[in-house]
Amino acid sequence: MARKHLRLGGIAVTAAALLLAACSSNSSTSSTSGTSSGGPPKAGVATGTLTGAMASGAIDSMDPNRWYFAVTWGLANALCTTLVRYADQPGTAGVQVVPGTANLPKISSNGLVWTFTMRPGAKFSNGRAITPADIKYTFERLMAPKVNTGTGVYFTNLIGANAYMAGKAKTIPGITTTANSISFHLSSPDGAFIYKAALPTTCPVPVGTPLKPIESGSLEETYASGPFKLQSYQPARQIVLAFNKNYDQALGARGHVAKIVFTIGDASTQATLQIEAGQLDFDTSNLATADIIKISSNPALASQVHSASRPSLTYIFLNNQVPPLNNVLVRKAINYAINRTAILAQWGGPLAGAPSDQITPPGQSDYKQYSIYPNTPNLPMAKKLMKEAGVKLPVTLVLRCQNDAPGFVNMAQVIQANLKQIGINVKIVGSPNSVNSSYIVNYKAHVPMGIEPWSLDFPDGEAIINTGLDPATPDAYANMARFAVTSFISPFNKAVTLTGAARQAAYEQLDYQIMSQQAPYAPIFNPKWYDFVSKRIGGYVYSEAMDAINYNTLYIK
Amino acid sequence: MRRIIANRLLGAVVQVLMVTLFAWLLFYVIAKFTGASPAQRIAGKQATPQQIALVARELGLNKPYWQQYLIFVGHLIHGDFGFSYVQMRPVSQILWPATRATASLVLGAAVIWLLVAIVIGGYGGLRPRSAGDVAGRVLAILGMSVPVFWVAPLISYFFGYQPTQGEVLGLHLVPVGTNIFPIEGYTDFGQNPVQWAYHLILPWITLAVGFAAVYIRFIRTLTAEQLGEDYARTARAKGASTSRVLITHVGRNVAPTVSVLLGADIATALTGVFFVETVFGIPGLGYTGLSAIENLDYPVITAVIIVAALIAVLANTVVDLLHAALDPRLRRVASG
């Protein structure tokens, strides 16, 4: 799903950042107070306070079965221990699943029953043991219509889940428990179930938690299960995480600071100045391009900058049901006509990402690089395809994008110029992300084209191919291309059931076939992640799975 | 005077009703036709039509529009701005801290810009074309020319950030690590009044720059005009000191006009300090409104608009009444 990551506060702030970058002298960096020398502390020893900043609107929910934005998933990683979880490692090692409150599952020979045995020591922050019944209840709560989580759809192949989600059953018979284990009975094999069991929305809550959204943060104050618990939450003002003394370090040595204080509502560029001044330790937003340029030019700050590839794709969806985009030749022509390099330049250029013409982002196990469409336009080919398509030109198409973050409208303008070359007049319609994202998912709105950033919910091709392009459900909100080619239904359905190398090969092949045969998207680029942190931070890890800083590894030097 | 008060209050009520109607139309009716309806937003992207219909019923969106509006106004009269389904708490709990923060910013800045403008503008009016007057006018032109979204990061950079790097205005004057002013941040007055003022000094100055520039020119012109009037010459001829002429005679005639401008500007500033709040991280009305727009939090957006309008109407009403109290001619016109 298109998980939201805020990128800067606004165009004016970016302009100011550029100005300040120009004003900036090569001044020395400040010293930081309260530091101690040495490496990470011993397991269970948590000292010092870190300060972080986040943009307004970065928190979508504080209900552990509802949160979805990247920043809240970053918090979830600190506050929760799910059945299984991602390793606290950088890069692709960080998308490996390791035991959480349970050991790695035993899977039945037919792939339909996944059994997780609970590990001793799994407790809530109030000291109460986490039981299999709590886990079952957690899954039921996250799928409860009244809680209305965004990730319930990933569990619809649990036996009885559909009836439960429709309100026709009070429990899910496909989840069974014993005194120390929980089993998930699937109606069809699911090769990505291990990742789904690690989703932050499966954060455990105790049996009996009300089946309605609880946004006060009270659940994570009392029932946190990670190395941190919520100490306080003032909406739109402040979040304080405190080390969870009831977290059993035998579940994984995590959490090395006593407290993390987040201020909500900081502008990214101001936060960068604060970090440089030693008044702040990190910001949860991706570093602004202007700041990347400024900081990169200062060797004294280089050790404080961290970059990583993100499990994300920015692309144009081409609505397969809107003429002339219902003609595959037109969609291919668009893929040949757009200048991916120039579009990426509007986002920040090579520092900010890498051009791509495929669906799955690099770093996923089922990613295999191919090249069908060029990074710079092949106009003769594009015009040839348009001619073959027999479309009466010129034709006008709407391209929707958000206009409350820098870069999107600029990218749209490049696309507009590119497509004019092949006789498509693009009408750009920009609106705030909140409006744009609600509108483009509306099947009845018949949105022809839109620029969308997409972050994977878990490191598997299913999280973008099946979720975003399932041909069996062209009216699904996430299928913005309204992809409905029936010959793909069977390969899609088969791919989800596979495991291991067969699954990997299936998704590699699907990615290639979709783009070479149908081109429902015009992929543009895979964005990069940049963090600028204070000098005193040690143990920095960007969690690719959460698309956020891993707070569990941080310590004060 | 009572007639003036009655007329003005009646006008204020009509204005408030019009604004509430506008706000309600904007976010409950128009939004419905653009496809981004409140019910859809609250129910979530994956909600079924049945779930959306259920939410719509709970919100009363299935009732006739006129009924919805009356219910909406009825709740407002009781101080109920609705419930934020994004933050899952009453809107009033979100709104009042934000209003306090913005009021802290604007009222503090107003004191600064008034003091600066009275001193510089008054001097300019008293000594036109003097070196001090020219300097004051240049400052005023500069102040009016620089947009607040440029001034805000610049002030934060030079006075908040640079001292930490051992510099003040680019000169190495202080030790590295000096914290003169915070780069951003806010402390509520109730929590710590000293920290409250400390965190607001730079935002106050930032906001005051543009307004002070206008007021300098305004007060300068009014003062010069009034000093040329017969009554001022007579006062001087009778031997009144310059300060007495300025404060007792000229000031009394300048004050009503300045108060009108001040009321309008405070209302404008209260609702338009978005950039200052964003740069300095002040969780005020502008910040709250922006955050609500990002999250499509309709009740909060509507409440911010209504509060902004209420402030504007209230400020203008107070100013009109103050103007009438200060200027006897207005009272005579109204009663006559």
Q: Using CA atoms, how far apart are residues A527 and A356, in angstroms rounded to an integer?
A: 10
CA distance B35 to chain A (A): 6
Strand partners, A457: none
What size, in residues, is chain A?
A: 557
Does residue A497 surpass a pLDDT of 60?
Answer: yes
Residue A223 contacts residue B74 (beta carbons within 8 Å): no
pTM for the predicted model, two decimal places? 0.81
Provide the angle, in degrees to the nearest 10, between the axes of the packed helices B2-24 and B298-326. 160
Mutate to test the interface with A, among B26, B27, B30, B46 (most CBs of A within 10 A): B46
- Touching A: B residues 298-317, CB under 8 Å: none
ipTM metric: 0.71
Question: From CA A182, how far away is CA A234, in angstroms rounded?
Answer: 36
Task: Give residue A32's pLDDT band: very low, low, confident or very high (50, 70, 90).
Answer: very low
* List of chain A residues whose C-beta atoms are within 8 Å of the C-beta of residue B296: 432, 434-435, 438
Q: What does the pLDDT average to over A438-464?
A: 91
Residues of A in contact with B176 (CB under 8 A): 28, 30-31
B40-59 residues touching A, CB cutoff 8 A: 40-41, 43-47, 51
> pLDDT higher for B309 or A552?
A552
Q: Which of B40, B87, B184 sits opposite A215 (nearest CB)?
A: B87
Name every residue whose Cβ is closer than 8 Å to that of residue B78 and which is 6 or more positions away in sequence.
none
Strand A305-309, strand B89-90: pairing: unpaired
Contact residues, chain A, for B150 at CB < 8 Å: 16, 19
Test B46 with A273 for CB contact under 8 angstroms.
Answer: no
pLDDT of residue A22 exceeding 50, the answer is: no
What does chain B come to in residues?
A: 336
Query: Phi/psi at A538 (nearest 5 deg)?
Result: -115, 160
Of A215, A404, A437, the CB nearest to B88: A215
Closest CA to A54 of A67, A65, A69: A69
B77 contacts: CB under 8 Å, gap ≥ 6: none
CB contact under 8 Å between B94 and A278, yes or no, is no
Q: Is the peptide bond before A394 cis (omega within 30 degrees of 0)?
A: yes
Question: Which has the minimum average pLDDT: A294-303, A499-508, B127-136, B152-161?
Answer: A294-303
B contacts of A274 (beta carbons < 8 Å): 161, 183-184
Tokens 């006789």 belong to residue: A423
Q: Residue B183 is nearest to which of A9, A235, A270, comparing CB atoms?
A: A270
Query: Is residue B285 over pLDDT 50?
Result: yes
Q: Distance between CA A297 and CA A351 in Å, rounded?
A: 13
* Pair B59, B24: CB distance under 8 Å: no
Nearest to B40 among A153, A404, A438 (CB): A438
Would the CB atoms of A277 and B164 count as touching at under 8 Å? yes
Element housing B308 (H / E): helix B298-326
Instruction: Compare all CA atoms of chain B with the CA of A403 and give the residue at the minimum distance.
Output: B294
What is the rounded distance in angstroms from the CA atom of residue A321 to the CA atom of residue A325? 7
Interface residue of A3, A56, A148, A479 to substitute, partner B, most B CBs within 10 Å = A56
The verdict on a CB contact (< 8 Å) between B36 and A434 is yes
Q: Which residues of A fall within a CB distance of 8 Å from B89?
A: 215-216, 235
Q: For position A182, what pLDDT does the model report?
A: 97
B281 touches A: beta carbon within 8 Å: yes
Give the ranges where A475-533 is alpha helix by DSSP (H). 489-497, 500-513
Q: pLDDT tens-digit profile of A327-358?
A: 999 999 999 999 999 999 998 888 889 999 99
